[in-house]
Amino acid sequence: MTEISRDHPVCTQEYAIYTPPIHEMCETISRWIEQRQTGGYIYGPSRYGKSKGIRSFLAKILNEKFDTEFPLMIWSHPTNSKSEREFWNLLLMASRFEFKNPIKPKGKIEAKYLFKQHLITLANRVKYNYIVILIDEAQLVLLNEWHWLLGLQNELDLEGYRLSIVSVGSHQISFQPNFFARTGDAHVVTRFLLHHARFHGIRSQNELEYILEGYDNDSEWPDNSNISYTKYFLSEAFDDGFRLADLSFLIWNELTEKYNLAFRSYKPKSDQIEIPMNQIANLIERLLKEMSNKPKSEIELSISSEYISKILFDQNMISQVWTTSTD
Amino acid sequence: MDNFYRLSSLISTTNKSHFEPLFNWRSDLYDANDNTYFLIAKFSLLNKLNFENINEFFKQYFSFDVYDLDVEGHRSVKYFFSVFSQSIYFHNDFITDSSTLDNVLGLKINLSYSHTTKHHGKSIRYCPECIKYLKLPETASFNYLDRCVIHDTKFSEFSCNFQHTRLRERNVKCYENFLMKICPTYPALFLTKPLIARNNNDPYIELGKWNSTLDNEAKSKLGRHLYTFKEIDDHGSDQLVYTLMIGLLTPPPLLNNYIIKNGKSIIAKFSSIKNEVGLSLFEKYKIAQFNAIRLVYSSFCFLNRRDEASFIKSILDFIDELNLRFEKKTNNFWYFNERDRTWILSDISYRSSSQNVYTLLINWLAELWLPSLYNGSSRRVSESYFNNFYILNHDLVRSGTFRPLVDDLTGLELSFGQISIYGSRFRELSTPNFSSEQMFALDSIFDEIAKSYISDVRTWIDRIECGEKPDHFPPKSRALLSLQKRQNDYCLISISVD
């Protein structure tokens, strides 16, 4: 019996599976880049896998698509910055700039200068004049911060570089354009928030199957070992032909049932169903851990609709679905 | 370039076509022919770094001090920037230490890259056209050039106030200050069009070739320096040194437009001495013997070969000429007071407290060439002079090229008592062991040297007689006489600047 390493990404939850919604989001962002848009935002309920998707796949996809190391900087907005100095220092800290020092933050002007030069460096090294900053948790960005970014965009414009800000956030961000437009800051909207797209949950059994195939085939640990996550945990069963993708029907049925339970008086149509990615990931993680090293026959006996249902109940799926539906 | 392995490992580990942008930089800012310190200054300003930051950063890659680069350091730093600018590194012909023309005719002409590119003085030379592209060509620090080889524009000078900069930081800080003053909007708003393609720039290529051959050319043309019999005054002046360099090591015609011109021309005279004669004469000579030979040999010739040695005859004739000039003079005699070193103009032909300019010169020539005629201004001065004469004789006896005429000169070491009993009077102490051929060779060398001294004195006294006030003594030397060992012979090279 192989001992399961606690360092496995499934155990540490430090992994990402490529999903159809991530693919859709990356395609949207690529399209905006191709159109040289100055900004746009992607919104979707929390825990749907936006952040993981961005961090794990966006850079790779853009690099492949544009056949270069695309000048992209991803910044997860931590909290509202109290001053412009703090704002630029936070951005500088998020960059790979070697001479940043969290103990001794730079002055406002210096931090802004260094950050601007860093963006130019990003663009210049691949002979581009276009840079993208992707702000995660962008619903937390305040009006002042938008103004500072607008100033930076103007300065870069003067130097011949185009800056695009792509924002990714929960549903609240979609209220901002309306609010800004009505309070005299329509220029912020036209620069950064004019284009938008929704980040969906998992909407069909086919999508679920695609994800489960990710665990079965398109994942690997340790690096270059050619061992997928499923093979690592369910080694014997995997060799005997067991695949998580084969459970897609069973799991999808349980997911939709729980989803519908969240809406007692109203039954959503099948094309309105959106399952949060974290529910699927947590379910698979628990399944892999509980069934680890068991033979195929035992796994097939253990995994039933009741088993899945219990896990989803433990994960409080109904409550999450109901809560995020208000987003 | 032993540090390159660090960069090489960086390249292999990243396994990417582009490096992670760990610091701010733009490939446009790199030019393979930029002054290395200027490259570091650009890097430093773009990343807002102070002295410690810069050194700390480069210490990750290199073991040397980035503020004081040797040739290898220059190459390594340029390679570093070429890598991070995604440019091809090409070996730069200018970065060389081979052009340390040390001891060419006894002069130090340091053209090594690490020496010239340092910030030495209060100013930085730059090309007004290159700087529009944020380039400071390393050729701007070659002081023998007057114009930019790329743009054919005269170099400008930027005066920098380095007083408040620590000595160690000065090389980079002065270039930083220069950059901030000349390009206040740095790094924005500079022209990024490429400079004139270097491949088509013939003077640039010629300069590179010439620069790398200077050392060999100097060796083949001038040989190895053995001894300077007569130095040239103001030889320390850069301008004169570069004039000498350009005059002797002829630059390619294409570079003529770009070379400094100070209106001075060089007259060079080469007197060859047969290899076997030179070898037997100077083989055993070190600096002490070379220092001694003129005075001791001329003393011997004056006493024993007055009619044969033409240089003795020349000096004596010139002394006669000086006496005659003095006789003819009726008024306005210049006197020199040795004690307080002042000049006095007097109507009378004799003042006991000072020496008139003619007597002064005759005594000086005797001091240099004819010790038996030397008469010091005091007993103490004479004693010191003859004690020195004793030591010079001893040096030559020790080399085996002179035979002692007194017993106490035979010992290997001299004691203080031995010297002091010699007193303040002249005595012949040694005689040379030379063959007639060797003497003939020495005669020809000293003939040239004597003529040069006479020429200096004559020019000086002519001016005084024309009414110019003497402001220095002895007369300024206007020629350099150096004994060189060439491949097939020995040679006395006489260089005068007109």
pLDDT, tens digit, for every residue of A241-272?
A: 999 999 999 999 999 998 888 876 666 666 67
pLDDT of residue B162: 67
Among A198, A226, A244, residue at a domain's last position? A198
For residues B217-235, give the mean pLDDT: 83
Q: Does A97 touch chain B (CB under 8 A)?
A: yes
Query: Cα–Cα distance between B124 and B19 in angstroms, integer?
Result: 33
Phi-psi region of A305 (alpha: psi -120 to 50; beta: other; left: phi over 0): alpha
pLDDT of residue B419: 58
Q: What's CA A7's distance to the chain center, in Å? A: 22
pLDDT of residue B208: 82
Domain membership of residue A186 (yes or no) is yes
Query: A178 and A207: one domain?
Result: no
Largest CA distance in chain A: 67
Q: Do B47 and A99 touch (CB under 8 A)?
A: yes
Query: A183 and A123: one domain?
Result: yes
Q: Is the dihedral of CA B286, B288, B292, B294 positive or negative?
A: positive
Please, what is the average pLDDT of chain B?
83
Largest CA distance in chain B: 92
The nearest CA of chain B is from the CA of A97 a distance in Å of 5
The nearest CA of chain B is from the CA of A96 a distance in Å of 6
For residues B398-415, give the mean pLDDT: 79
Query: A194 and A214: one domain?
Result: no
**Could you say which of A110, A120, A158 has the minimum Cβ distance to residue B26?**
A120
Q: Which residue of A lies nearest to B56 if distances are taken between CA atoms?
A: A99
H-state helical runs in B332-488: 357-369, 379-399, 416-420, 436-465
Residues of the domain holding A47: 20-198
CA distances (Å), B215 to each of A148, B103, B104, B224, B453, in order? 59, 11, 9, 11, 31
Among A142, A176, A198, residue at a domain's last position? A198
| Tokens (6 digits) for A287 | 């399944």
Q: Do B48 and A99 touch (CB under 8 A)?
A: yes
pLDDT at B242 over 80: no
Q: Do A121 and B21 touch (CB under 8 A)?
A: yes
Query: A35 and A94: one domain?
Result: yes
pLDDT of residue B281: 87
Which site among A60, A117, A158, A224 would you substitute to test the B interface, given the most B Cβ atoms closer than 10 Å to its Cβ? A117
Which of B109, B488, B481 lies closest to B268 in space, CA to CA? B481
Query: A228 and A149: one domain?
Result: no
In chain A, the number of structural domains is 2
Domain membership of residue A184 (yes or no) is yes
pLDDT of residue B197: 46
pLDDT, tens digit, for every residue of B111-160?
A: 777 777 777 667 889 999 999 889 999 889 888 888 999 889 999 999 87
Q: If pLDDT is split at 50, 70 and 90, which confidence band does B392 have?
A: very high
For residues B228-236, give the mean pLDDT: 78
pLDDT, tens digit, for every residue of B63-106?
A: 888 888 888 888 889 888 988 888 877 777 777 665 556 667 78
Query: Cα–Cα distance between B264 and A123 in angstroms, integer?
Result: 54
Supply the ipTM of this predicted assembly: 0.80
Q: Does A101 touch chain B (CB under 8 A)?
A: no
Query: A225 and A243: one domain?
Result: yes
Q: Do A158 and B21 touch (CB under 8 A)?
A: no
The nearest CA of chain B is from the CA of A13 a distance in Å of 26
**CB neighbours (10 Å) of residue B314?**
17
Among A173, A198, A223, residue at a domain's last position? A198
Query: A250 and A188: one domain?
Result: no
Query: A192 and A208: one domain?
Result: no
Q: Which is more confident, A280 or B75?
A: A280
Q: Which is more confident, B72 or B45?
A: B45
For residues B288-292, give the mean pLDDT: 93
pLDDT, tens digit, for every residue of B427-438?
A: 889 999 999 999
For residues A198-209, give the mean pLDDT: 94
**Could you say which of A98, A113, A121 has the minimum Cβ distance to residue B26?**
A121
Q: What is the CATH number of the domain that holds A182?
A: 3.40.50.300
pLDDT of residue A8: 94
pLDDT, tens digit, for every residue of B469-494?
A: 888 888 999 898 999 998 889 999 99
Domain membership of residue A1 (yes or no) is no
**Could you say which of B17, B49, B188 has the minimum Cβ distance to residue A99?**
B49
For residues B4-18, give the mean pLDDT: 50
What pTM was estimated for this model as a whole? 0.76
